Chains A and B, each alone.
Chain A
Amino acid sequence: MKISKEEVEHVASLARLEFSAVEIETFASQLSSILEYVEKMGELDLAGVEPMAHVHEIVNAFRDDVVAPGLTNEEALMNAPYPEDGCYRVAKVIEGE
């Protein structure tokens, strides 16, 4: 499977990453070779094999619906660059009109 430069740019922009033209070339070729390697699986006869849901074979880990102490407001905002009124202050998001 070949990954195009455009696909690398698309995924990079979704992930808010910026790359130089050279890096994009490199990643396109690296991602392509990784996917080609995975494609080897297609050579196997996998009819009747359940798709894997998780690397572990165990299932079902639950907690009970009981309130547990969390962080205080001060602790929660400790690493926030702009704490204000008990909140995280962020750049305004413009949506709609």
Chain B
Amino acid sequence: MQWELVVGLEVHAQLLTDTKIFCGCSTSFGAPPNTHVCPVCLGLPGALPVLNRKVVDYAIKVGLATNCTVARMSRFARKNYFYPDLPKGYQISQFELPILEHGYLGVNDDSGSPKDIGITRIHMEEDAGKLVHPDIPGADYSHVDLNRACVPLLEIVSEPDIRSTGEALQYVKKLREILVYLGVCDGNMNEGSMRIDANISVRPMGQEEFGTRAEIKNVNSFKSLEQAIIYEQSRQIDLIEDGGKVVQETRLFDADRGITVGMRSKEEAHDYRYFPDPDLLPLVIEEEWIDAARDTLPELPDAKRSRFRSQYSLPDHDADLLCQSIDMADFFEEIVTLHNDPKAASNWIMGYVLRDMSRDELNSVKEAPITPTHIAGMLDLIKEGVISSKIAKDVFDEMWATGKEAKVIVEEKGLTQISDTSEIEGIVDDILAANPDEVASYRGGKTKLMGFFVGQVMKASRGKANPGLVNQLLKSKLEG
């Protein structure tokens, strides 16, 4: 039988505020345990939460960028459950009246046709603390660190519109890109700044009704998302084809083994008894606030890509890569302002800047030791014929290593290209004299030896000879 995959995703994105959502404790990562805490986030009796305005501001921006409707009135609710990382015995979240609803993001389906993935809702909530299991064999206890408790999250819930791993990956990548572009989330999946739960089911192709779904938790990378969907899809199909039934349950993704594992949890545990949180006032958002947020939106990734394609005549691949981050797109545009050759700028970024960034494990081009001025200066020198593209590669490495401008490096190292015919002629004569056998073979018809001669001349000139001139001179001397 033909089966159809149905996936809906819940993405938790940690917001880049300085303080927590309901108290003034710092959200910075890596502090000693339980040092960014106060009576509010510890859930001490009598402490009252007060909403961080910036969280609302960020949520509105995300809503606008994902085509959501911003609710004029929304409110917070308590989600009740017991777990040691949740000090109050409830999580403050939103239930009936979330701040954002009815959005969508565009992706391409497996045949390449555009389709929209609906966004049911986006709501604000607080994160839980962290349970640390001590690395002691047989330890029957855990440690609780509440620094993360009350850190602001957006939960972004998609419609079950996703039909393939390809669509799922595109959706999350797009979402991540938008969050990072907006500067509201660092998008760092391995540090847990973005966490994904995937609702996965299968149904016979053509059937209207959804199959029973499993909720897969702990999917924390693109690779895990892909593996989890593939594994879960085949698990469910095998189960049904063997006469079994999919049970609605929560399963954990085990990244080491690439499989999902059922969690032993009681059915009752999912009765969250939501009710409006009386400690927090309703949130009313006026048009002016939404307009002000709209005014601060940056150019979004899709719009930027299409502008890069048309304004700079770049191929899709280049526009895609350059626009993966706003910093890189800005870096590119600054180079082009200084040296108007978009394709050359793009080639150097894709070939060398990205290579060195990944080698040095840099997250942003802003952390790179070179600036757009460095690259533009180097491109100027190539264009003026001062250095060859080959030498430029060495200059690039030197710029990256020392932070010096191309011009300075070329002067200090004497890398200026030799375009003086008589100087090159001397080298060419030496090479021909030193290789009489090859010269004879060449003249006898083995013209492929041209490469050998060029190589020898370039080597003798330490790469500085103008390759065009070298070719020209060799040809006239060998054939003339």
A residues adjacent to B (C-beta < 8 A): 10-11, 13-14, 16, 53-56, 58-73, 76-77, 82, 84-97
Contact = CB atoms under 8 A, between A and B. Distances in A.
Nearest to A13: B268
Nearest to B42: A76
Interface string B40-78: 011000000011111010000000000000000101000
A54 B281 contact: yes
Contacts of B80: 14
Contact of B264 (A56, A60, A65, A96): A96
B98 interface: no
Contacts of A85: 33, 143
Contacts of A76: 34-35, 37, 42, 146
Given A70-B36, A92-B139, A93-B131, A63 B24 contact: yes
Interface SS majority for chain A:
loop
Interface string B428-446: 0000000000000000000
A89 B33 CA distance: 12
B263 A96 contact: yes
Given A60-B281, A65-B53, A66-B24, A84 B261 contact: no
Given A86-B32, A88-B143, A96-B263, 8 more contacts: A10-B268, A11-B273, A62-B51, A63-B53, A70-B25, A90-B141, A92-B133, A96-B252
A84 B139 CA distance: 13
Given A53-B282, A64-B53, A93 B83 contact: yes
Contacts of B142: 89-93
Interface residues of B, number: 56
Contact of A87 (B19, B143, B280): B143
A87 B33 contact: yes
B99 interface: no
Given A61-B50, A61-B51, A93-B131, A87 B283 contact: no
B264 to A, nearest CB: 7
20 contacts: A10-B271, A11-B273, A53-B282, A54-B75, A60-B281, A64-B52, A65-B52, A65-B53, A66-B19, A68-B19, A70-B24, A73-B34, A77-B34, A85-B143, A86-B35, A86-B145, A88-B143, A90-B131, A90-B141, A90-B142
The listed residue with most B CB atoms (<10 A of its CB), out of A65, A73, A77, A91, is: A65
A14 B282 contact: no
A63 B284 contact: no
Given A65-B17, A70-B25, A95 B264 contact: yes
B26 interface: yes
A30 to B, nearest CB: 19
B23 interface: yes
B278 interface: yes
A78 to B, nearest CB: 11
Nearest to B273: A14
A-B interface, 8 closest residue pairs, ranked by CB to CB distance from nearest: A68-B24, A70-B38, A87-B143, A65-B54, A62-B53, A53-B282, A88-B144, A90-B84
